[in-house]
Copies of this chain bind each other. A is one copy, B any other.
Amino acid sequence: MAADEDTLAPRDFESLRGLIMDRRSALPRRLAQVAKYALDHPDEVAFGTAASIAGAADVQPSTLVRFAHQLGYEGFSDLQKVFQERLRGRNSSYEERMKALKNTKEDEQGEAALVRGFLTAAQRSLQDFSDLVDPALLSRAVGILAGADTIYLIARRRSYPLVAHMAYAFGKLRVKNNLIASPNGIDPEIASMANRQDAALAISFSPYAADSVAQARAMADAGVPVVAITDSAFSPLADCATEWLEVAESDYAGFRSLSASMALCMALPVAIAEARRQKQGKN
């Protein structure tokens, strides 16, 4: 049981937070995990059940009880009460509540409004894209990339972060890839090494960086299968691509969101790795 139950077990949340922060470095793995989860998601702890919280924090319910004991509480329920106290009296009046609601809508200004603007644009993008997902098309695109020896990644400027992430994900999934974005100007040479066994993934949105388009086209001309992610049927990438996926992003303050394409770019590597795994299983 806990070392010194008496001195511990704070009854108010702030003391508890302090205690947890102090203790955490000295806690064993799973208990530290709980500590982190508890401070990161205090609302969940206040309302959840031991099982639901344990699930979310990826530990066993018993670990929660141990954690509570460690801190000097009688059990998880006792600890939970402190988390609940923290929420009592929040939003006490109807008026407050309405004011809070309005605040989030229009009253905010400055930086917060800007952030909210981008968040909204991102959300719209996701929604729009979600309505457009075409399973068959997606499946063909993944098929092409899964069949490739090396996947060449083509993107510039605004789209570059997308392939940067893919390169990272492919790396983790051990999928051979080549990010064509060297700062030393030998991109064309690298690109020219691609052959029919490889494939390219090109991403570009209006106004379509000339480099990206040129490289994608060169690949296509050389017989390399090209999968494109772009924003319109009129995109130059749509022309030269073997398959192309449409993503239309919303914009805010003149900057287009990247959230939908980013979600797609997170899914693709996983889908490709999965497809390869299955193919391997068959052989």
Q: Which residues of A contact B (CB under 8 A)?
A: 13-14, 17, 21, 24, 35-36, 39-41, 43, 46-47, 84, 86-92, 94, 97, 100-101, 103-104, 108, 110-112, 114-119, 121-123, 126-127, 129-130, 133-135, 138-139, 142, 157-158, 160-162, 164-165, 168-169, 231-234, 248, 252-253, 255, 257-260, 262-264, 266-267, 270-271, 274
* Pick from B86, B115, B161, B271: contact of A165, CB under 8 Å: B161
A174 to chain B minimum Cβ distance, whole angstroms, is 14
Q: Do the beta carbons of A111 and B135 come within 8 Å of each other?
A: yes
CB-based nearest B residue for A274: B114
Q: Which residues of B contact A43 (CB under 8 A)?
A: 88-89, 92
Q: Do the beta carbons of A158 and B164 come within 8 Å of each other?
A: no
Supply 13 further A-B pairs (C-beta < 8 A) apart from A21-B234, A160-B168. A13-B97, A14-B94, A17-B94, A24-B234, A91-B100, A91-B104, A92-B104, A110-B139, A111-B135, A112-B134, A112-B139, A161-B165, A258-B262
| Bound-complex Cα distance A201 to B100 (A) | 30
Q: Do the beta carbons of A112 and B91 come within 8 Å of each other?
A: no
| Bound-complex Cα distance A263 to B120 (A) | 9
| Bound-complex Cα distance A234 to B118 (A) | 27
Q: Which residues of B contact A168 (CB under 8 A)?
A: 157-158, 160-161
